[in-house]
Chains A and B, each alone.
Chain A
Amino acid sequence: MEFDNKQLRHVYWNPYFGGLMLGLLIAATFYVTGRGVGATGGTKATVVSTVDLIAHEHAEGQEFFSKYVDEDKNPMKNWLVFETLGILIGAFLSGSIKGRVNFRIQHSPKITAKRRLVFALAGGLLFGVGSQFARGCTSGAALSGSTVLSLAGFITMIGIFGTAYVFAYFFRKLWI
């Protein structure tokens, strides 16, 4: 969608071109490292580190964390953490080149900004929980998983998009 404005130029790539680039990137990632990309892993590592910092014994006792909390292994030294950092930097580069960087809340004109933030938080919570159950999110499981034809990838992809289509009607006020 082109939206040419004196102050902000919102010119996005052609989606097919973006898809082509993304596809080649994913293929290159698999070729070089044998794994796909991921988005929640970095956040998870931060959670583990924070809990470890604040309540170390609790972290060791809890089954969820004990895998990652080790004397010599730093949970932050994780492939996904570096990759997440890269995403932040890359997106910032792209945004700043096109002049899209500034603090704002993007919301439909039909709802208030506060309402948007409430739902953003709720959505994030759901995603945090759901991604742990599904061992991946749209980037890790659906995108990378489907590329190598894993069953889980397709289950996740169909699950996420299918559910969203089914319930889209109930949330239409938020968006259109």
Chain B
Amino acid sequence: MGPLTFNDIISTEWNYVIALLIGLAFGYILEASGFSSSRKLVGVFYGYDFVVIRVFMTAVSVAMITLLYLDYLGFLDFSLLYVVPTYLTPQIVGSIIMGLGFLMGGFCPGTSLTAVAIGKIDGIVFTGGIWLGILGFSEAYPYIEDFNNSGYMGNITIMDQFDINPYTFAFGFAVVAVIAFTAASMIRRKVKEIQY
């Protein structure tokens, strides 16, 4: 009955080893899909390479559907899984900042790590930037603390907020994903070829 570490099916000492292995697979998959290339990542915004949408939406829907099936079959307790807490205003502001950062830097933290691993200097600089950004945030923390903690709505899910059946949502998400892929392919054919 999952999650496995909760019911002591796997002890917590293994947790760190598992973390390493998961990271290993994560890094491998990301790099092999081409996410270590900043120009490939930004392609989604300019229409010349949609790898981000394809991988991302596939990953989220596959994972969502798998977990829901596991939950239904009794192998997993969905309600025990970690839900990111919602802080409405800071998260909206934060994601806008991150969107700009993505555009400028061409990476996101996970992919920048893969770039570091294969020796890309812009990736290393980007990761250094993240480091400095966190440092700056921490130094300014006393001033922004109140804002940072505003808009707290708890660890809520879409089901809690909008009262949608998770199965319906998962199916809807899959449909949206397929539509997005088709649109991506169509746009891809129209946009001029770019060598990178």
Q: Could you tell me which A residues sit within 8 Å of B by CB distance?
A: 1, 12-13, 15-16, 18-37, 39-40, 43-44, 46-47, 51, 62-65, 77, 79-80, 82-96, 98, 100-108, 116-117, 119-168, 171-172, 174-176
Contact = CB atoms under 8 A, between A and B. Distances in A.
**Which interface residue of A24, A34, A39, A90 has the most chain B CB atoms within 10 A?**
A90
Contact of A100 (B3, B118, B128, B181): B118
24 contacts: A12-B32, A13-B34, A15-B33, A16-B54, A29-B22, A30-B2, A30-B3, A31-B3, A34-B5, A39-B110, A40-B130, A51-B138, A90-B31, A102-B119, A119-B106, A121-B128, A125-B101, A133-B148, A134-B98, A135-B94, A137-B109, A147-B60, A159-B95, A162-B99
B169 interface: yes
Contact of B110 (A46, A77, A139): A139
Interface string B109-140: 11011111111111101111111111111110
Contact of B86 (A32, A44, A150): A150
Contact of B126 (A13, A36, A121, A157): A121
Nearest to B99: A163
Given A128-B136, A155-B86, A100 B46 contact: no
A44 B134 contact: yes
Contacts of A136: 84
Given A34-B5, A128-B130, A137-B108, A94 B120 contact: no
Nearest to A22: B59
B191 to A, nearest CB: 9
A67 to B, nearest CB: 11
A98 B17 CA distance: 26
Interface in B72-90: 75-76, 78, 80-88, 90
Contacts of B175: none
A134 to B, nearest CB: 3
A87 B30 CA distance: 9
Given A149-B166, A164-B99, A34 B6 contact: yes
Contacts of A90: 23-29, 31, 117
A47 B134 contact: yes
B103 A149 contact: no
A85 B122 contact: no
A143 B59 CA distance: 8
Interface in B124-178: 125-139, 141-142, 145, 148, 153, 155-161, 166, 169
Nearest to A145: B84
Contacts of A127: 97-98, 101-102, 105, 107-109, 126, 129-130, 133
B36 A139 contact: no
Contacts of B186: none
A46 B83 CA distance: 24
Contacts of B43: 175
Contacts of B32: 12-13, 18, 94, 98
B187 interface: no
A120 B92 contact: no
Given A19-B56, A120-B122, A130-B95, A150 B27 contact: no
